[in-house]
Structure 1
Amino acid sequence: MSDSGTAPQDETFEPEVLESREVYRGAVWSVREDRVRYGDGEIVRQYIDHSGAVAVVAMDEEGRVLLIQQYRHPIRERDWELPAGLLDVVGEDPMAAARRELAEEADLTASGWEPLVSTYTTPGSNSEIIHIYLATGLAAADEAFARTDEEADIRLAWVPLAEAADAVVAGRLHNGILAVGVLAAERRLSSGRARREA
């Protein structure tokens, strides 16, 4: 409970943007610079203008979550992640994008889909919001997808959900989206069990 007696909640706040310009255009995203009226003055902020993304906590009937490992150049590591991808198809529904990414990255489909949590990845430096879904009722996709570049050597691992959560808390898994998704899934499923047992 917060000091005000209500649960904390983010709030929309839109100061006047006096000027906004693209200062760099990349292959995947661009960098913008905004001049903003803030308080009694102005501030200038540069940030990555991001299309948004989706990720999938894919759970099998044994309570294991699918993790994928791939090389990420900015951190020079092959980190463990959830199947995920950009919202880069204009007008595509996020859940449809999540279905597409699960098929493309893991050659899987799922019959059960539910929104799990949405989160901003690094709001101090980019506008990316990622929508994370829980996928169950898994089956092999009709076809395997051809993968290139970093995705060509993706490794897959099925890990018990509690073990994955323990690895996050112990600092063995560092990917933020994986951490949010795994911990949210563990919380969702344990809350469901508690309600059924009550």
Structure 2
Amino acid sequence: MTIKDTPEEWEVRATETPFAGNKTSVRTDDVVMPGGSVVRRDYQVHPGSVAVLALDERDRVLLIKQYRHPVREKLWEIPAGLLDVPGENPLHAAQRELYEEAHVKAEDWRVLTDVYTTPGGCDEAVRIFLARGLSEAEGERFLVEDEEADMEHARVPVAELVRGVLAGELHNNCLVVGVLSLVAARDGDGLDALRPAQAPWPARPFEV
């Protein structure tokens, strides 16, 4: 048996959108189960996201801390953002987010991992990039607003982040998955064996 996720789509007898928001919506599908019964499934429709684990020459990860209203906490996170345009190149979106949230650019980009954040209730797909060769971006800083206007920044050693994740002190999914994937990649074939930045992403197809 090959342990690999595979595409599959069960019959949908009816679908509706009871809520449509600014960036996401809620869809209700009547899905035919293997035994023939039809059940209703509600889920959030999401455009997809990118996140950037930016690693500097001192083995520190660039972090931001911002308020997340649904969980009523300020979370340490890695730079991330939505794929605002259908078919948008995820690498370009990641480079934009790193610039806007941290005013940083990177020379070397790799795909660290691809994840579905909550596949039981949302179709959000996230591509997490590894960015190395960091330097200050040119030009003026991006004008932030709303939650981002209160952001804090830090650069934290990888080992300290691993300890915080395993101690239950850090909870952002992209940070947790990104940091642990980084350590796993190092212990495996090495960071240079990671997929190239423009590797295909079936969950959110894009043009190079």
TM score, norm. by length of structure 2: 0.87
Instruction: Check the 8 A contact 2:63/2:77 in 1, yes or no.
Output: yes
Residues 11-90 of structure 1: pairs in structure 2 closer than 5 A: 11-39=6-34, 40-90=36-86
The answer to whether residue 99 in structure 2 is matched with residue 141 in structure 1 is: no
CA deviations on 1:77-101 (whole Å, 9 max, x unpaired) are: 0011110000112331011111111
> Structure 1 residues 161, 25: CA separation in 2 closer, same or farther (over 3 Å shift)?
same
Summarize the alignment of residues 154-193 of structure 1 with structure 2, pairs less than 5 Å apart.
154-192=151-189
Aligned-pair distance for 1:23? 0.8
Residue number among 104, 115, 118 corresponding to 1:119 in the alignment:
115
Q: Secondary structure at the match of 1:14?
A: coil
Query: Percent of pairs identical after alignment?
Result: 47
Residue 131 of structure 1: aligned partner: 127
- SS of aligned partner of 2:183: helix
TM-score by length of 1: 0.92
CA RMSD in angstroms, aligned pairs only:
1.6
Cα distance per residue 1:36-88 (max 9 Å; x no partner):
11121111101000000000000000000011100000000001111000011
Query: What is the one-letter code of the residue matched to 1:59?
Result: L
In structure 1, the partner of 2:199 is none
Letter paired with 1:103 = Y
| Partner residue, 2:203 | none
Q: Aligned equivalents of 2:85 and 2:191: distance in 1?
A: 39
2:62 touches 2:155 (CA, 8 Å); kept in 1?
yes
Instruction: Show the 5 A alignment for 1:99-110.
Output: 99-110=95-106
Q: CA deviation at 1:193?
A: 5.7
